[in-house]
């Protein structure tokens, strides 16, 4: 036999290195991406979106306030306007997310005539108190999220959502 | 939710909660004289159904629009979709269209007819409020039909 014949050991070595290399790459790539991604992304987080709502007009009764940003849905791209339920709690402005914590429908303040002082989800009858606290025995398992808010030149600006801090 | 793989897996797992399909019925009319208006009404229907989806995200799956031509037999088309989606496990079907043809149609389909409003020249705010108004008229239709069967 010729002496450049690949021995069994060599063969295994080659193949295993090859496979191992792929596996390592498979594992490393996402890790590298995770590590680098935050650097590449713009700091979108702390952005506040202006609304046309005068802070002095906000009352104790939750009211819809819209604010716009761009969103791409499955096959329909649009400049989606998002909504918050905004009210004053003493001097503090509260802005709650209208997204139901069950499966994501949009909740309405006083949406059910039987519960005029609660948020109501039309999809499966989920309900929340004014603070966003979910009412037990309705489908949602957690309270409504809260938006960060700030005031600029007398107008309300809305930021990121965060877990409810009132409940 | 939408007819895509991610949302469909929610549908499959949560049939007790996700039980409704919304189907935009879209007449495409290529006649030169109708082109512009037809495209505008398609735009309107897509925007409106996206609004409906957003409102009822947790219970509704918005289907890709069912497009047809002036020659299509509406009754048959509707029936096929109706049967197929019920077989797929949807309890409630809402067909939405701006095509007057469905209004006169003597079919078992309950098509929600909404006259098309040209959105193309509106700024974002106006568009939003026009669509909101339309949505608000449609919400009770959904609520009613859901309530009548549960
Ligand atoms: S999505 Fe709100 S109760 Fe189910």
Q: Which helix (H) or strand (E) holds B35?
A: helix B35-55
d(CA A125, CA A42): 39
In 10 A of CB A71, how many CB atoms?
Answer: 14
Ligand 1 atom index nearest CA of A126: 3
Mean pLDDT for A97-121 is 95
d(CA A165, CA A146): 7
Contacts of A106 in chain B (CB under 8 A): 54-57
Nearest to B58 among A66, A73, A105 (CB): A105
Helix (H, G, I), strand (E, B) or coil at A3: coil
Helix (H, G, I), strand (E, B) or coil at B6: helix
* Average pLDDT taken over every residue of chain B: 92
Q: Is A141 in the pocket of ligand 1 (CB under 6 A)?
A: no
Confidence category of residue A47, pLDDT binned at 50, 70, 90: confident
Per-residue pLDDT tens over the stretch B59-80: 999 999 999 999 999 999 999 9
Of residues A81 and B51, more confidently modeled? B51
Is the per-residue pLDDT at A37 higher than 90? Answer: no
Q: pLDDT value at position A96?
A: 97
Could you tell me which chain A residue has the CA closest to the CA of B49?
A: A76
| Residue A100: closest CA among A60, A69, A132, A130 | A132
HSE value, Cβ hemisphere, 13 Å, CA-based, for A128: 31
**SS3 sequence, A104-121?**
CCECEECCCCCCCCCEEC
Q: Is A126 in the pocket of ligand 1 (CB under 6 A)?
A: yes
Per-residue pLDDT tens over the stretch A64-106: 998 887 666 666 666 667 899 999 999 999 999 999 999 999 9
Q: pLDDT value at position A41?
A: 46
d(CA A35, CA A121): 39
Pick the range with the lowest mean pLDDT from A63-77, A108-122, A150-164, B23-37: A63-77
Mean pLDDT for B82-89 is 95
Instruction: Please indicate whether, in this complex, the C-beta atoms of A103 and B10 are within 8 angstroms of each other.
Output: yes
Residue nearest to atom 1 of ligand 1 (CA): A103
Q: Is A155 in the pocket of ligand 1 (CB under 6 A)?
A: no
Please answer whether residues B38 and B28 qualify as being in contact, where contact means their C-beta atoms are separated by less than 8 angstroms. Answer: yes
d(CA B89, CA A28): 42
Confidence category of residue B104, pLDDT binned at 50, 70, 90: confident
Contacts of A123 in chain B (CB under 8 A): 17, 56-60
Q: pLDDT value at position A63?
A: 95
Q: Which helix (H) or strand (E) holds A79?
A: strand A77-89
Total-model pTM: 0.78
Q: In B63-133, which ranges are E strands?
A: 66-68, 92-97, 111-113
Of residues B13 and B125, more confidently modeled? B13
Of residues A25 and B142, more confidently modeled? B142
Q: How far is the CA of A67 from the centre of ligand 1 (A)?
A: 23
Contacts of A124 in chain B (CB under 8 A): 17, 58-59
Contacts of B3 (CB under 8 A, 6+ apart): A74, B61, B62, B63, B64
Per-residue pLDDT tens over the stretch B86-102: 999 999 999 999 999 99
Q: How far is the CA of A106 from the centre of ligand 1 (A)?
A: 8
- Residues of chain A above pLDDT 90, percent: 56
| Residue A48: closest CA among A95, A110, A101, A2 | A95
Q: pLDDT value at position B98?
A: 95
Contacts of B9 in chain A (CB under 8 A): none
Please answer whether residues A119 and A108 qualify as being in contact, where contact means their C-beta atoms are separated by less than 8 angstroms. Answer: yes
The CATH number corresponding to A49-162 among 3.40.630.10, 2.102.10.10, 3.90.550.10, 2.30.30.100 equals 2.102.10.10
* Average pLDDT taken over every residue of chain A: 82
Confidence category of residue A156, pLDDT binned at 50, 70, 90: very high
Question: What is the CATH number for B137?
Answer: 3.40.50
Q: pLDDT value at position A35?
A: 58
HSE value, Cβ hemisphere, 13 Å, CA-based, for B148: 8
Instruction: Please indicate whether, in this complex, the C-beta atoms of A78 and B50 are within 8 angstroms of each other.
Output: yes
Q: Residue A110 to residues A86, A127, A159, B58: CA-CA distances in angstroms?
A: 14, 10, 25, 19
Domain count, chain B: 1
Confidence category of residue A42, pLDDT binned at 50, 70, 90: very low
A73 touches chain B (CB under 8 A): yes
HSE value, Cβ hemisphere, 13 Å, CA-based, for B82: 14
Of residues A37 and A112, more confidently modeled? A112
Rounded to whole angstroms, the maximal C-alpha distance in chain A is: 94
What is the ipTM score, two decimals?
0.84
Nearest to B57 among A68, A75, A103 (CB): A103
Residue B139, domain extent: 5-148
Please answer whether residues B17 and B59 qualify as being in contact, where contact means their C-beta atoms are separated by less than 8 angstroms. Answer: yes
d(CA B100, CA A82): 32
Calculate how close chain B gets to A148, using CA atoms only, in Å.
22
């Amino acid at each position: 036999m010729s002496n450049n014949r690949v021995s069994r050991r060599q063969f295994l070595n080659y193949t295993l290195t090859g496979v191992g290399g792929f596996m390592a790459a498979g594992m490393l790539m996402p890790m590298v991406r995770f590590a680098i991604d935050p650097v590449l992304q713009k700091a979108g987080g702390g952005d506040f979106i202006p609304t046309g709502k005068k802070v002095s007009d906000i009352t104790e009764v939750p009211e819809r306030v819209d604010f716009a940003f761009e969103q791409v849905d499955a096959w329909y791209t649009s400049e989606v306007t998002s909504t918050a339920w905004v009210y004053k709690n003493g001097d503090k402005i509260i802005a709650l997310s209208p997204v139901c914590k069950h499966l994501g429908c949009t909740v309405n303040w006083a949406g059910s005539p039987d519960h005029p002082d609660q948020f109501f989800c039309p999809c499966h009858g989920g309900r929340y108190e004014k603070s966003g606290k979910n009412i037990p025995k309705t489908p949602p398992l957690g309270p409504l999220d809260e938006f960060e808010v700030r005031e600029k030149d007398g107008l309300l600006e809305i930021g990121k959502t965060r877990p409810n801090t009132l409940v | 939710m939408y007819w895509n793989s991610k949302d469909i897996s929610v549908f499959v797992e949560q049939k007790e909660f996700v039980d409704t399909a919304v189907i935009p019925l879209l007449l495409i009319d290529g006649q030169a004289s109708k082109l512009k208006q037809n495209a505008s009404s398609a735009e309107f229907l897509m925007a409106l159904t996206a609004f409906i989806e957003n409102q009822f995200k947790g219970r509704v799956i918005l289907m890709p629009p069912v497009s047809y031509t002036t020659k299509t037999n509406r009754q048959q088309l509707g029936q096929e979709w109706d049967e197929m989606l019920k077989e797929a496990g949807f309890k409630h079907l809402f067909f939405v269209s701006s095509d007057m043809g469905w209004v006169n149609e003597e079919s078992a389909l309950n098509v929600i007819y909404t006259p098309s409003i040209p959105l193309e020249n509106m700024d974002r705010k106006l568009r939003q409020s026009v669509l909101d108004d339309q949505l608000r008229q449609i919400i009770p239709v959904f609520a009613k039909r859901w309530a009548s069967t549960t």
